[in-house]
């Protein structure tokens, strides 16, 4: 065996070990590889085959130590996101393209968040996606790169998508707000109300089969409910005929890894729903 091949196999095994550790945290006990399709066989690389292992019986689960408590967010205006929200009046379907929507957004100055942002962070991914993920607002990494969910929370989201048997390139990902709030604070009612119509227009243009809303901000802006994510998660909701699954935000999972199991249960329901269609 050549040294290059040996090094490559070592990297594959290390990647498989890391993925196995992550899947166990989610509560996944085994995964299988479908070898019935000839096309599927030819497309699978050695890395894919090494990663598609059957995990041994999982030991007694011990939650990972909690991360240090996050730094408190700066105080925000009294009129918060969770007050009385204006009703949505946008159509359920649309002939608009995403480019037309983004052109309308432009270098947006409709609210005060424009003053501290580096750039507008629009929705990104497969424009014909069956599955859409919606979060709160960009963070520092997203503000710098101009794409949603590219920081630590985004890396975790990518691994969650892969655990579902999908690739990030197959889905589309966005946020309620497109500009980073100062100190990563929660968007105010006014900021969310100004920005979310663009998200609704994107949903109308994309027409995904399922939307996963991550965290309270996305939940309450999309579905206009007062309940928190803990009470609503794990149950399919409806947004203009589109299935919506509320679940925890990846940033929250970084602070409290014990919630990964519940999140995985939510994502399995989404996966099973899409596979059955």
Nearest Cα to 209, choosing from 275, 124, 123, 125? 275
**Three-state SS letters, 167-182:** CHHHCEEEECCCCCCH
Distance CA 129, CA 172 (A): 6
Distance CA 68, CA 7 (A): 36
Distance CA 103, CA 191 (A): 19
Q: What is the pLDDT of residue 243?
A: 98
CATH node for 98-275: 3.40.470.10
Quick check: 3 and 140 in contact, CB under 8 A? Answer: no
Taking residue 122's Cβ as centre, other Cβ atoms within 10 Å add up to 19
Q: What is the pLDDT of residue 12?
A: 64
Would you write out the chain's pLDDT as a tens digit for each of its 277 residues? Answer: 666 666 667 766 766 666 666 666 665 555 544 444 444 444 444 444 334 433 334 434 444 454 554 444 444 443 444 444 444 445 667 789 999 999 999 999 999 999 999 999 999 999 999 999 999 999 999 999 999 999 999 999 999 999 999 999 999 999 999 999 999 999 999 999 999 999 999 999 999 999 999 999 999 999 999 899 999 999 999 999 999 999 999 999 999 999 999 999 999 999 999 999 9
Q: What is the pLDDT of residue 19?
A: 64
Q: What is the pLDDT of residue 252?
A: 97
Helix (H) or strand (E) segment spanning residue 237: strand 237-239
Q: What is the pLDDT of residue 50?
A: 38
Q: What is the pLDDT of residue 94?
A: 78
Angle at which helices 189-206 and 216-223 pack, to 10 degrees?
Answer: 70
Distance CA 55, CA 62 (A): 17
Each domain of the chain, given as residue ranges in start order, spans 3-51, 98-275
**pTM of the predicted protein model:** 0.73
Q: Where are the beta strands (DSSP E) in 48-205?
A: 124-125, 131-135, 172-175
Distance CA 14, CA 50 (A): 10
Nearest Cα to 153, choosing from 75, 224, 69, 215? 215
Quick check: 178 and 98 in contact, CB under 8 A? Answer: no
Quick check: 194 and 110 in contact, CB under 8 A? Answer: yes
Distance CA 44, CA 143 (A): 35
């Amino acid at each position: 065996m050549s040294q290059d091949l040996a090094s490559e196999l070592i990297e594959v095994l290390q990647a498989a070990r890391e993925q196995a550790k992550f899947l166990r945290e989610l509560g996944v006990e085994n995964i299988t590889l479908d070898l019935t399709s000839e096309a599927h066989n030819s497309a699978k690389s050695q890395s894919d085959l090494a990663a598609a292992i059957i995990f041994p019986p999982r030991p007694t689960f011990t939650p990972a130590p909690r991360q240090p408590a996050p730094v408190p967010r700066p105080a925000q205006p009294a009129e918060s996101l969770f007050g009385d929200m204006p009703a949505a009046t946008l159509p359920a379907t649309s002939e608009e393209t995403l480019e037309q929507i983004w052109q309308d957004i432009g270098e947006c100055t409709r609210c005060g968040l424009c003053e501290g942002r580096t750039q507008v962070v629009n929705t990104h991914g497969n424009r014909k996606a069956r599955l859409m993920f919606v979060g709160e607002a960009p963070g520092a990494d997203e503000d710098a790169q101009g794409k949603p969910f590219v920081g630590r929370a985004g890396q975790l989201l990518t691994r969650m998508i892969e655990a579902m048997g999908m690739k990030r390139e197959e889905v589309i990902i966005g946020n309620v707000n497109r500009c980073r709030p100062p100190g990563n604070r929660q968007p105010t009612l006014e900021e969310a109300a100004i920005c979310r119509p663009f998200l609704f227009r994107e949903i109308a243009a994309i027409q995904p089969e399922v939307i996963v809303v991550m965290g309270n901000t996305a939940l309450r802006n999309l579905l206009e409910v007062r309940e928190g994510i803990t009470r609503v998660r794990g149950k399919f909701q409806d947004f203009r005929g589109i299935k919506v699954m509320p679940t925890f935000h990846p940033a929250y999972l970084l602070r409290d890894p014990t919630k990964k199991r519940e999140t995985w249960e939510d994502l399995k329901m989404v996966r099973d729903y899409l596979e059955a269609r």
